[in-house]
Each structure stands twice: as structure tokens, then as C-alpha cells.
Amino acid sequence: MGFKALCFGLLCVSFLSYIYTPMPDNIEETWKVMALDAIAKTCNLVATLCDIIGLMKYEDVLVILASVHFTKAVSDENITVIDTDFSDIPVRLYLPKRKPERQRPAVIFIHGGAFVLGSYKIAAYDDLNRWTANKLDAVVVGIDYRLAPQYPFPAALEDCVHVIKFFLQKNILANYRVDPTRICIMGDSSGGALAATVTQLLQNDPSFRGRIKAQALMYPGLQLLDTLLPSHQEYQHGPILTREMLIKLVCLYVTEDKVLPQAALRNEHMPTESRHLFKFVNWSDFLPEKYKKNYVYTEPVLGKLNASYPVLVDSRLCPLIVNDTQLQSLPLTYIVTCEHDLLRDDSLIYISRLRNVGVKVTHEHIEKGIHGALSFTRAPVFLNLGLKIRDKYINWLEENL
Ligand SMILES: *[C@@H]1O[C@H](CO)[C@@H](O)[C@H](O)[C@H]1NC(C)=O
Ligand SMILES: *[C@@H]1O[C@H](CO)[C@@H](O)[C@H](O)[C@H]1NC(C)=O
Ligand SMILES: *[C@@H]1O[C@H](CO)[C@@H](O)[C@H](O)[C@H]1NC(C)=O
Ligand SMILES: *[C@@H]1O[C@H](CO)[C@@H](O)[C@H](O)[C@H]1NC(C)=O
């Protein structure tokens, strides 16, 4: 009892100390964002402490905390919601009940969570997918791919590819009355990385080229080569997502070895033979001037890490490092970036590169946005920002899918 009270007291103190973290001036709903930021940082602290005292692993604590918001598959008056499997991988389907006037579009949803956390079951995602299905009269497919570190790279990607290839079969599409020419792949954060990668793989596969009409990437993280882009520096302490949390979690998709995140924090994790890939993530070349601010480009420090992780140079981990030839054939693209987000510049570089090779990109930059906004549309903390981004995205789909 005394121990529990002590823990609770410590949590309150840590929450209160975090809540006074100064926020950027032009953030909307400042108090709510401060509370969310303090919650995220307190969770991170609890997870770190549990790990240090050997009670539970860092990531396992976060997995448990994230699962508090899981929902069951519950149908409503408009949408039938079913949990099932495609190719032995769990999926949640949202099928509109109204009589179809014609074949329906489909949206394939890949959730975020740094490859380690999350599920389509999270209440805010369930709301979003239900809303998408109802507004667009679309079939929505959420994918629960396997998570790291139990299943490292490329498990998550392979699961997404399997589900999508299964869904794209003629008889399956016909079964759900889906129009094969109106399919979009969407993902947020690390789910955006998976969505971007799957889209690249399908477009560069002769038997699937042209099958995806559009991709929608919501504040995605797209590379691990350079962890000191201007946005990584400017927003290293959040709000919500800190550079340390991000690197700690994402590295688990590569290895459980602690050497990698330590080196990545110093930006000294890439091997010598990766030098030729840095031209694809060179913010000095690709970042629009207004985002460069006063940051100075420094050349990468390579070969410091003797342990070698071949995965780090794999474009299936970092979709930003494919060459222009592989970008050229990409479909219509929608990208949301948030200003107050350490992943902002990954997307800004991708947008420049896509536009350079003639891919049609709609870019929505949310000046007052924060990372993960789409996930904060439910109690205890409800951000209008999340709903605003959702509505912009749905409008784009209505016009383009
Ligand atoms: C069903 O759809 C109608 C029309 O879009 C909407 O007004 C209503 O709120 C929806 N019901 C639910 C449970 O979402
Ligand atoms: C990045 O771009 C800058 C400016 O164009 C250039 O000086 C530098 O050599 C580039 N570095 C790499 C690794 O491509
Ligand atoms: C890496 O290997 C080189 C040569 O094998 C050695 O000189 C260097 O000290 C090693 N670095 C680390 C960080 O272990
Ligand atoms: C681009 O990358 C692909 C796959 O790695 C390769 O086959 C192709 O030759 C490359 N194209 C150029 C122009 O480098």
C-alpha cells in the first residue's frame, strides 16, 4: 500500500513537472496539448523506470498503456464491422450497410505506433475508419501487422503486403463490391512509412503496377539515416513525441541491441557503405528554405558503429532512400505534415523528391499541428485539431478517390 502510494505520488509530481514544459506560441488548444504531452512523457518515464528496475521491458509497459484504448468490432446503424483474417493476418473490415449505388472505393488503413505499439483496435482509429467508411461509402480494411521487437523488420511490412495482395484479388474485391480502380493505401506515422513502402513495392512490381490509385501519408516517418534534420532538432523534446522515444522505439524494429539507439541518438549509426544514400535525404538540397531556419547542414559521420545492421540501408525500412526511377511511377499522393512534429522534414523531403520526378502530390501543412493528432480525438483528451485533419483528408478522398 505504502509503495503504491509512493508510486502514485511520484507520478503526480512527474506529471506536474512535465505539464509546465513551455509550448510553442502558435499551438491551438494549448492546455490540452500540454496535458497530452505531460501524459506521454509520464508514460515514458514509467516505462523507463520499470525497465531500469527490471520489472518489465520499456516497450512492454507502453504496449499495455496503449491497449487501454482498444475497442471491439461493433457494428452500428450504418456500418458492419468485422474482425477477420486475410492471409492469416488479422484485419478489421468496415462495410457500409446502405445499398451500393455502384461499386465502392476502398481504403486500406495501416496504423502508427513506431512499429512497436498500437492496433486498428485503438478507439480513435476505429472512429476514423468508421467515419471514412460512412462518409465515402467505402470499404475500409485495417491491418494488425506483427509488432517489434518480437517480430523485427520486415515482419510488419510483409504482413501489410500479404493483406493487400490478398485483398486485391479479383474475387475478393468483387465479394466486397469494391471498384478495383479506386483503392487507396493510408497510414499515419510509422504506418505512413509502411503505406509509402508498400505503395513503392506494388508500383515497382509488374503484376501490381497501377492497381493502387492513391496513397495518403499522415505525418509519416520515412527514414533513419539522418536523425538530426532541422525538425528533429527543433522538436527534439516534443510535443508528444520526443527524439529519444522515437529512436528508442523505432530501433527495436531493427534490433534489440542497445548499441544502435545510442549511436542513432548521436547520429553516428550508419555504416561507411551507406554514403551514396545520403543524397536522397539531404535536407540542404530538398528542404524548402523556410524550414531550414538557422540550422547548418553537417556531413554524416559514418562507420563509427562496428556492429553492422544491413537493414539500415534497406529502402523497405526507409522509403525515402529509393532512387528517382522508383519514385516516378508512384500514384496520386496526399501528405499531411504538422509543423510541431520532429518527423516533419522526412515528409517535406519526400514531397520535394516526388514533385521533382512529376508525381502529383497534395500537401497539407498544418501550421498549428502536432504529431499524432489523429489519435487524439477521444476522451480523456479531445483535440479539435485531429478532427480538422480528418475532415481535410476525407475531403481529399471524396474528390480524388
Ligand atoms: C449514420 O449515418 C448518418 C448519416 O451520415 C449519421 O447522421 C449518423 O450519425 C450515423 N450513425 C452513426 C452511429 O454513426
Ligand atoms: C548535401 O547538400 C549540400 C548542398 O547541396 C552539399 O554541399 C553536400 O555535399 C551534400 N551532402 C551529401 C552527403 O549529399
Ligand atoms: C571499431 O573497429 C575499429 C577497427 O576494427 C577499431 O579501431 C575501433 O576502436 C572500433 N570502434 C568501436 C566503437 O568499437
Ligand atoms: C534504381 O534502383 C533500382 C533498384 O535498386 C535499380 O534497379 C535501378 O538501376 C536504379 N536506377 C538508377 C537510375 O540508379
> Is the distance from the beta carbon of residue 323 to the nearest atom of ligand 4 less than 6 Å?
yes
**In this model, does residue 23 exceed pLDDT 70?**
yes
Q: Is 69 a catalytic residue?
A: no
Q: How is residue 119 annotated by DSSP?
A: -
Ligand 2 geometric centre to CA of 343 (Å): 20
CA distance 96 to 134: 6
Convert the pLDDT of each residue in 358-381 to its tens digit.
Answer: 999 999 999 999 999 999 998 777
| C-alpha 229 to ligand 2 mean position (Å) | 13
Confidence of residue 80 (pLDDT cuts 50, 70, 90): very high
Give the integer Cα–Cα distance in Å for 401 and 381. Answer: 31
371 a catalytic residue: yes
Identify whether 189 is a catalytic site residue.
yes
Q: What's the 78 CA to ligand 1 centre distance in angstroms? A: 6
pLDDT tens readout for residues 250-296: 999 999 999 999 999 999 999 999 999 999 999 999 999 999 999 99
- Residues 23, 33 contacting (CB under 8 angstroms): yes
- How confident is residue 46, by pLDDT bands cut at 50, 70 and 90? confident
Question: For ligand 2, is residue 278 a contact (CB within 6 Å)?
Answer: yes
**Chain mean pLDDT for the chain:** 93
Q: Report domain extents, the chain.
A: 69-223+312-400
Check: CB of residue 86 under 8 Å from CB of residue 163. Answer: yes
Show contacts of 79-88: CB within 8 Å, 24+ apart: 79/130, 79/133, 79/134, 81/126, 81/130, 86/141, 86/162, 86/163, 86/166, 86/167, 87/162, 87/163, 87/165, 87/166
* CATH fit for domain 69-223+312-400, picks 3.30.70.100, 3.40.50.300, 1.10.760.10, 3.40.50.1820: 3.40.50.1820
For residues 309-332, average pLDDT: 96
